[in-house]
Amino acid sequence: MARTPLHGCKDWFPKGDAKVKHVTSASSLVTISHYKNLLVSEGIDAFIKNQYLGSVMGEIPFHEAWPELWVRYDLDLDRAKQLIDSNISDESPSEPWICSKCKTENEGQFALCWRCQAESPDEI
């Protein structure tokens, strides 16, 4: 299969048997851009579709206007999904913790005590 010349996308259509694959979509372009950067940093060619459709939201079904993340090669699909899944679980806040220095309760996503800046027990 030869590359297909589409406006602004000609470099993203692969040669041969490789096919582009849909990875995920989200209501936020910020989220999809973050995931794309994550994949690119791991050496996976990725691109975003529908990044400019936010302005027509309401004219077409909202889920069809959401930005979508695609990988250039189908062999990268499983690895891309693993990276995104691990990133989502890494972002989940942990349990609240009590500062050993000043005894203040801190929310789980904080690595430092908000009052005295002592490190959380997980960071030590």
Q: Where are the domains of the chain?
A: 10-91, 93-124
Q: What does the pLDDT look like over 31-60, one tens digit per residue? A: 999 999 999 999 999 999 988 887 776 777
Distance CA 100, CA 15 (A): 58
Class level of CATH domain 10-91: alpha beta
Side chain identity at residue 6, one-letter code: L
Query: What is the pLDDT confidence band of residue 116, given thresholds at 50, 70 and 90?
Result: very high
Distance CA 30, CA 6 (A): 25
Distance CA 36, CA 75 (A): 16
**How high is the pLDDT of residue 52?**
83
DSSP lists the bridge partners of residue 97 as 106
Strand boundaries in the chain, DSSP class E: 21-25, 46-49, 68-71, 97-98, 105-106
Sign of the C-alpha dihedral, residues 113, 116, 117, 119? negative
Sign of the C-alpha dihedral, residues 20, 29, 56, 25? positive
**How high is the pLDDT of residue 86?**
86
Taking residues 91-98, report their average pLDDT: 76
Distance CA 56, CA 66 (A): 10
